[in-house]
Chains A and B, each alone.
Chain A
Amino acid sequence: MIGIIGYGAYIPRYRIKVEEIAKVWGANAENYKRGLGLTEKSVPAPDQDVITLSAEAAKNALKRAGIPANALGCLYIGSESHPYAVKPSATVVADAIGAAGHLHVASLEFACKAGSEGMYIAYSQVKAGVIQYGMAIGADTSQGAPGDALEYSASAGAAAYIMGQGPKVLATVDWTHSYATDTPDFWRREYQHYPRHGSRFTGEPAYFHHITSCAEALLKKSGMKPKDFQYAVFHQPNGKFPMAVGAKLGFAREQMVTGWLVPTLGNTYSGASPIGLTAILDVAKPGDRIFMCSFGSGAGSDGFVFTVTKAAPKVRDLAPKTRDYLDKDRIYLDYGTYAKFRKKILKNLED
């Protein structure tokens, strides 16, 4: 039995509402809320980045796994907003959680699916018998250019997973499948601060093609149908896409709503579907099946079929739950403070 033995999420406390952003750019907030299917998004504090969000999620995952940090054989962080261009985020996080030393560490990048590819690699290493336990984190603090549609959705958050085997497994990984092609729907060139995107091109040939191709192959491989699952979670760049692709594949709204966090979280990029999965694991019952399919621009998708075990209810209360991070103790920002936090405006420090 191989699968997830620990998981943890982290979401910053700060939020900004769509109305607050739209007000500054003279845009119609209702149109954006309807078009994007979200009402607010999380915002990292000025002292938070992918490293700090990852460390907090990692600590939560370790609490649930109940293993010492130095038992980890690998640690991967998938993100498109690593604080350093050259120096792995994962080394800092490994040292912060007490895992540094004899483990394999890498920072991964594949737009919004870098988190799930870390999960796939960690799982594969455990399955191959190379390591006993492996941690994978999906985290981002991505930005949209001021006034761009992405500014309304680009948010911050992290999810960490520890893969292992034996009685600690709280959700088995039953099947996996990946799909990738060269599709230039979204990119950020070196030295550029903000990403560029192909507007509507990000939809059908990118998001929908890759998720449906991956998901249909995974369903065929596993011999399962959408009705065999209690939960499904897809990459969620906005509120509409995941519900639309899920419906296209044959999943019902009630199967997707638990992991559908984007309406009040925003798009956490590499953290998106992994954080959605943490919200599902917070409530799923033993025997429940979960279908997950990520998407990363450029482009590709990773699909997983999980089955929840009896271990899940025993450990889920050992760390903060995802909905608690999302729904409690929020601090709302005005656009000026948000712009300062995200370094869109800088203080003149000269006398």
Chain B
Amino acid sequence: MTTSARIWREKPHRYRLEGVRCKKCGRTWVPARQVCPCGSRGLSAMVLPEEGRILTWTVVHTGHPEFSDSTPYALVVVEFGKGARLLMQLADFRREDLKIGRKVKVEFRKVQAAGESGVLCYGYKAVACSE
């Protein structure tokens, strides 16, 4: 559900792709967390790069009611390097963009609107880079 408090709370990772990297095991976490599953509290702040590659993809034909006028839409898992992976929508997608290994970049887009008069939620989506 899109609420003002949630949008405000999620700004670091939704707006700026901010997360943390574990100094012990090297894993990356977006959004940031206080303790790594390896048990370490030694986490350093990091920002995901703007470009990555499609690791896998799917096309949603029957979406959540909030997105039913956007179907079909594509969801992709993007690998940003060093094992950091994020599930994102592929914006402006064409079927030929859906290739494993395809280079994508992130763009700031509108994610949700709480009805006609509610708050707007923004965040990053992937878009295919020119080949």
Contact = CB atoms under 8 A, between A and B. Distances in A.
Interface of A: 13-14, 45-49, 51-52, 55-56, 59, 83-84, 92, 95-96, 98, 328-329, 331, 340, 346-347, 349
Given A47-B110, A52-B109, A96-B16, A328 B130 contact: yes
A14 B127 CA distance: 13
B68 interface: yes
Contact of A347 (B15, B68, B91): B68
A14 B92 contact: yes
Interface in B3-36: 11, 15-16
11 contacts: A47-B109, A47-B111, A48-B110, A52-B108, A52-B109, A52-B110, A84-B120, A96-B108, A328-B130, A346-B69, A349-B69
Contacts of A59: 108
A85 to B, nearest CB: 10
Given A45-B109, A46-B110, A51-B120, 14 more contacts: A47-B109, A47-B110, A47-B125, A48-B109, A48-B110, A49-B110, A52-B107, A83-B110, A83-B120, A95-B16, A96-B15, A96-B108, A329-B130, A349-B69
Given A56-B107, A331-B92, A349-B65, A96 B122 contact: yes
Interface in B99-131: 107-111, 120, 122, 125, 127, 130
B58 interface: no
A158 B65 CA distance: 31
Contacts of A95: 11, 15-16
Contact of B108 (A46, A56, A340): A56
B68 A47 contact: no
Q: Pick from A55, A84, A340, A346 the residue with the most CB of B within 10 Å.
A: A55
Interface in B56-100: 65, 68-70, 91-92, 94
B50 to A, nearest CB: 8
Query: Which label, helix, strand, loop or mixed, suits the secondary structure of the B interface?
Result: mixed
Contacts, number: 54
Contact of A47 (B11, B65, B91, B130): B91
Nearest to A84: B120
A-B pairs with the 5 shortest C-beta distances? Answer: A55-B108, A347-B69, A47-B109, A47-B110, A96-B15
A98 B69 contact: no
A52 B94 CA distance: 21
Contact of B16 (A84, A98, A346): A98
A14 B94 CA distance: 12
Contact of B91 (A45, A51, A83): A45
Contact of A349 (B68, B92, B109): B68
A92 B70 contact: no
B107 A92 contact: no
A13 B69 contact: no
Q: Pick from B68, B70, B91, B109 the residue with the most CB of A within 10 Å.
A: B109
A46 B70 contact: yes
Nearest to A329: B130
B130 A92 contact: no
Nearest to A346: B69
